[in-house]
Amino acid sequence: MTVKMKMRVVMMASVLVFCAVAMGQQPRRPVQTPKTNSADKLRRAPQVVTIVHRLNGLKMFRLLLRSQEHLQTIEKLDSAFNLNDDVHTNVIAGLAMDDGETIAAWLPEADVEFGPSVVPALPTSPKMKGGRKALDAFPSSASLFVSPDITVIGPGGRRVAATYVGLDAVTGLSILKLKNKNVIPAVAISTEPVEAGEVVLLFGPEPVTKMRPIFATSLYVRMGAIEGRIEQVLTAPSGDIARFKVSSPKLSHANIGGVAINEAGETIGIVDGLEGTEASIIPATMIRRAADRVLAQQASVPRPWLGVRGEAIGALKVEQMLKAGWAMNRAADLAGRHRGILLTWIVPDSPAAQAALRAGDVILKVDDNEIQNEEDFTWWLDQAGPSSFVRFTVARPDRPAEELFNVKLSGMLDPAFGFNFRNRSAGAKGFALLDQGIETIVLKPLVATQLGVTAGLLVVFVEPLTPAFEAGLQPGDVIQSIDGKPASTFKPAPQASTFKFEIVRNKEKRLVTVAMKKN
């Protein structure tokens, strides 16, 4: 579906429904679970719950802005559209853990709820020491993004009171806490290694056979299960199971986020990806670690971030290493051993840059662990965790001996982030609102008029703990001008340290003075 088509669905109908649901209009409806022909399978898996995640208009715009389709402008809004109304509902399976009070779920849109996207390695203020406590000193606009709108439905269609604790960026799993323990049966999570050939059940949303009119008073959801078989088990460098793959001809994208159960009724994983007729599964041990990380912090836990891009030596030709400054004999030696990662790019001001790592360096070890490919490299960084020190053994093209570098990692709250992450702001010249922690979308004249302006940039996110956030800039504001110049073409004067934003909020003009964010 193209961005234009997506926007039309969002704006004209004021609702975008993923997975199998039949849904009515505002106001908020009760959620029901009709009888299903999967009842027997569901009785075997009482740990499978239903998660309903709603996004309002601003969060939906941010989701589209961050998508691969790069939404840049809003061309049209329905006359009844409200930025704070629910416009997107995602229905997905959740897993009740065996402690009787924790739920893990793969919520594909959870990352648009949070900021900052990059977490500093060294906090510069007591206010930046993490979690929701760090936001208490700032305006209440933070609540727009730190309190996801999530409903949990337990066995028998009962609503279950739960609070959202945080996102684990290593696995992409969200962790919730039940307000009342043991309201959902605690079922064992298997600690035994899975094996190829095992039969599993994959639980996820399925179509409701009797669809209701669009103006119905209820939202109907239903969980079902399909049978699959484990085809491949992928082992991590540490010897743990990193992923396993399940095949089934009935797989669809609705199964992403689904819960995998073995024939004994034990939980063995959560689906986090799909390729053809094969689903990629996060194993139970990694789910438990993700829950432990988030519960220990009582907040979202970033993924460790180094700030580099590179390629495995084993995948390179010697000629490519020569272009990176390596002599023929040393390049041939490294290539022959299929060992190490050649760094091709360093993000400015990243932990790697601050540690003086350079493009052309080859990372041979992370701590005492030898590196052969990108998967090894990413795995060991993930195990280290954000804000931790990592020792790299590095070979340099202009040095005969290997060198040791101790680097303190920072963090990235983005489940899609990986080893080849490219900083969206890297290399940008001049002033960019994104560098200031402000995400915006350009308004076309017709839409601008509906929001009480003639032109401008709609703010869809303000990164917490930034000067813009502290100054009171909020999602939903429309920036008309900066220092008296149109916001879309603004370039700051040399040595500028503050900016005057002329904004419109609820069709009223305001001035907000924002200090420049210092990286």
Task: Count the domains in the chain.
Answer: 3
165 with 152: CB under 8 angstroms? no
327 with 471, same domain: the answer is no
Torsion angle defined by CA atoms of residues 472, 473, 474 and 475, in that order, rounded to the nearest 10 degrees: -170
389 with 463, same domain: the answer is no
DSSP conformation letters of 63-86 = HHHTSTT---EE----TT--TTSE
310 with 333, same domain: the answer is yes
- Looking at residue 421, what is its pLDDT? 37
CATH of the domain at 181: 2.40.10.10
50 with 149, same domain: the answer is yes
316 with 215, same domain: the answer is no
Q: Which two tokens stand for residue 462?
A: 């303000």
Domain stops at, among 412, 443, 462: 412
pTM exceeds 0.75 for this model: no
Is 212 inside a domain boundary?
yes
DSSP conformation letters of 9-50 = HHHHHS-EE-SSEE---SSPPPEE----TTHHHHHT-TTEEE
Mean pLDDT of the chain: 76
Condensed to tens digits (0 to 9), the pLDDT of residues 146-178 reads 567 788 888 777 888 888 888 898 998 999 999
- Looking at residue 215, what is its pLDDT? 39
Is 259 inside a domain boundary?
no
Question: Mean of the pLDDT values across residues 449-455?
Answer: 74
Distance (Å, rounded) from C-alpha 365 to C-alpha 222? 48
Is 463 inside a domain boundary?
yes
CATH of the domain at 374: 2.30.42.10
Is 235 inside a domain boundary?
no
Condensed to tens digits (0 to 9), the pLDDT of residues 316-370 reads 988 889 999 999 999 888 888 888 999 999 988 889 999 999 999 999 999 999 9
Question: Mean of the pLDDT values across residues 464-477?
Answer: 84
Flag whether pLDDT at 105 surpasses 70.
Answer: yes
Is 282 inside a domain boundary?
no
What residue type is assigned to position 383 of the chain? Q
63 with 158, same domain: the answer is yes
pLDDT > 70: what percent of the chain?
Answer: 70
pLDDT grade for 208, boundaries at 50, 70 and 90: low
Q: What are the start-end ranges of the H helices in 86-241?
A: 143-146
| Residue bearing the bigger pLDDT, 30 or 407 | 407
263-to-192, 200, 260, 267 alpha-carbon distances in Å: 13, 6, 10, 10
Distance (Å, rounded) from C-alpha 139 to C-alpha 475? 12
Q: Which two tokens stand for residue 378?
A: 């990413």
Domain stops at, among 381, 412, 443: 412
Question: Mean of the pLDDT values across residues 454-475?
Answer: 83
Is 244 inside a domain boundary?
no
Is 363 inside a domain boundary?
yes
The closest of 506, 417, 414, 415 to 463, measured between CA atoms, is 414
SS3 378: helix
Distance (Å, rounded) from C-alpha 225 to C-alpha 201? 6
377 with 466, same domain: the answer is no
Question: Mean of the pLDDT values across residues 398-405?
Answer: 94
437 with 406, same domain: the answer is no
- Looking at residue 75, what is its pLDDT? 60
509 with 392, same domain: the answer is no
- Looking at residue 508, what is its pLDDT? 87
Condensed to tens digits (0 to 9), the pLDDT of residues 182-195 reads 888 878 888 888 99
- Looking at residue 145, what is its pLDDT? 44
pLDDT grade for 518, boundaries at 50, 70 and 90: low
501 with 371, same domain: the answer is no
Domain stops at, among 343, 377, 412: 412
What residue type is assigned to position 198 of the chain? E
409 with 351: CB under 8 angstroms? yes
Distance (Å, rounded) from C-alpha 303 to C-alpha 291? 14
Is 232 inside a domain boundary?
no
pLDDT grade for 210, boundaries at 50, 70 and 90: low
437 with 373, same domain: the answer is no
Question: Mean of the pLDDT values across residues 14-31?
Answer: 35
pLDDT > 90: what percent of the chain?
Answer: 29
* Domain that residue 478 falls in: 433-515
- Looking at residue 14, what is its pLDDT? 26
Q: Which of 25-39, 88-102, 407-421, 445-459 has the lowest mean pLDDT?
A: 25-39
Q: Which of 131-140, 400-409, 491-500 has the lowest mean pLDDT?
A: 131-140
118 with 194, same domain: the answer is yes
